[in-house]
A = this chain, B = another copy of it.
Amino acid sequence: MKVGFIGLGNMGQGMAQNLLKAGHTLAVYNRTRAKAEPFQAKGARIASSPRDAAQGAEAVLTILSDDPAVEEVVFGGEGLVAGLERGAIHISSSTISVALSERLAAEHAQAGQGYVSAPVFGRPDAAAAQQLWVLAAGAPADVERVRPLLEALGRGLTVLAEKASSANVVKLSGNFLIASMTEALAEAFALARKSGVEAKTFLEVFQAVFARSPIFERYAALIAEGKYEPPGFALRLGLKDVGLVLEAAGDAQVPMPLASLVKDHLLTGVARGFGELDWSALGALAAERAGLEKL
């Protein structure tokens, strides 16, 4: 396919490489032209503007750092909306806001252009090794047309709903899971260290018990299905354990705000009569707070 490619940062370089390797024709654009030059040697055309990159392209992929960077290449006289032909498709792989993704969908639709939201999971090394996991949301026909490109980027693809911004919700949620787990680790290491356990010993246990284990997968499945009975581990016992964590943390003078938060939710569960459900019923409480119906 004839493809425009905008954004040759750490992520973009590997991705562009893989599109070339898969036999696609690329017109690349980067604000700092120097980063585009190596791609000329590999057969890509260097575009002088986002608009230029879109000339004659069936699709243009953007992979940039944030909302303002995307707005800059999409809007204005030298932007993608101005440059894309009717029926051509903008594939947006940047981690951007849901609001901007919705605006992009609307503006491209108004211009008779397609829009596929396709954020990716993985760091630059995964991008280079074609090991990204790719999401795709948008009009089914558009998603199908660019599927060969998306498949060339990674090891797998999940096609989501028609609403383009749903892919952004999922991508952002993924980053939220990482940040949450990191915060949990941060507090656990602080407690371990202050209790006289060396950080490298705690790491060893974490690696043995949690890393690459199906444990989180199992909890995710319980929440996805709303299946909190019979309990694998009763919520009231979970409350007891997190209570003991906070007791130990108090004695060791280690503030653990995430543990406090989780304890309050477990306590709410018990107060609401969920004590004998599985402790993944935290999922039922979160859904309830959001005004969602039971699964």
A residues within 8 Å of B by Cβ? 65-66, 95-99, 121, 123, 133, 135, 156, 158, 160-161, 163, 165-166, 168-170, 172-217, 219-221, 223-226, 232-233, 237-238, 240-245, 247-268, 270-273, 279-280, 282-283, 285-287, 289-292, 295
Contacts and interface: CB of A to CB of B under 8 A. Distances in A.
A222 to B, nearest CB: 9
Contact of A245 (B175, B214, B265): B175
B191 A173 contact: yes
Contacts of A238: 175, 179
Contacts of A95: 241, 244
Contact of A190 (B217, B244, B290): B290
Given A217-B211, A224-B202, A245-B175, A196 B166 contact: yes
Contact of A172 (B213, B241, B255, B266): B241
A268 B287 contact: no
Given A133-B205, A189-B283, 8 more contacts: A176-B259, A178-B219, A179-B238, A180-B262, A185-B283, A199-B225, A210-B216, A253-B290
Given A169-B191, A267-B253, A282-B186, A160 B295 contact: no
Nearest to A163: B196
- Quick one: copies of this chain in the complex? 4
20 contacts: A95-B244, A135-B205, A158-B205, A166-B195, A173-B192, A173-B202, A174-B206, A176-B187, A176-B262, A177-B181, A177-B184, A177-B210, A180-B262, A182-B279, A186-B280, A186-B287, A203-B224, A210-B217, A255-B267, A257-B264
Nearest to A239: B250
Given A156-B208, A194-B290, A223-B185, A262 B98 contact: no
Given A158-B201, A208-B133, A219-B181, A255 B290 contact: yes
A91 B75 CA distance: 35
Given A195-B166, A253-B270, A186 B98 contact: no
A251 B270 CA distance: 11
A260 B260 contact: yes
B181 A184 contact: yes
A290 B194 CA distance: 8
